[in-house]
Amino acid sequence: RGYFPPAAEPKGRVAIVGHSAGGWISRVYLSKRNYGGKVYGGSDFVHSIVTLGSPHGNAPGAAFKGVEWCNREGLPECVRGLAVAGAGFKGDSSGEFTQNCYAFCCNNGTDGTGYDGDGVTPVFSSLAFEGAEQLIVDDCTHFAWSDVFGGSFIAPDLTKHYKEGGSWYGTHGIIDKWAGWIAK
């Protein structure tokens, strides 16, 4: 097995970027509360957090218990936050996958047709990060669907959009819209 030398003393705090569930999981890392038997206290090491299409809104079901846990406290005072939401993919016209994803993220039991978002996470949920600044990016999908095996089967409408030149949070023009905030 490999060898890792002892870590040096930290020279400063870092920014973290979390996409999708990685956004709320990053919030767990920032917290000084016990989560699953561990306290991470990452806010001591992080100056900023950016979440991209992350579900921050409470919703029913076991999948959202971690989100609900995060929402019991706001952003730590020593950490800046930016919640980024993609928009332009309506629940009533972007395919069954999108409609079902939006319905899954809704706290009020709707069918998902009345929402806009990135094709997976509705705008209202991406922006439900208390204490964080908000940014909505138009014509931005959740993921580079055509770059993954099965994308055209799982999300055909989103895959087609991306193949035809659409953007997601990791596309150069979209990165330019949120990454500069970190350096402010």
What band does 148 get if pLDDT is binned at 50, 70 and 90? confident
pLDDT higher than threshold 90 for residue 39: yes
pLDDT higher than threshold 90 for residue 88: yes
pLDDT higher than threshold 90 for residue 110: no
Give backbone dihedrals phi and psi of 141, rounded to 5 degrees, phi first: -85, 165
Give the mean model confidence (pLDDT) for residues 117-122: 97
pLDDT higher than threshold 70 for residue 1: no
Residues 70, 72, 76: CA angle, nearest 5 degrees: 70
Residue 154 has what pLDDT?
92
Residue 11 has what pLDDT?
80
- Give the orientation angle of helix 96-104 with respect to helix 156-163, to 10 degrees: 110
Beta bridge partners of 50: 17, 82
pLDDT higher than threshold 80 for residue 7: no
Phi-psi region of 36 (alpha: psi -120 to 50; beta: other; left: phi over 0): left
Please tell me the chain's helix, strand, coil percentages from 3-state DSSP, rounded to the nearest 5.
Answer: 35, 20, 45
Residues in contact with 71: Cβ distance below 8 Å, sequence separation at least 6, in sequence order: 56, 58, 128, 130
Amino acid found at 51: T
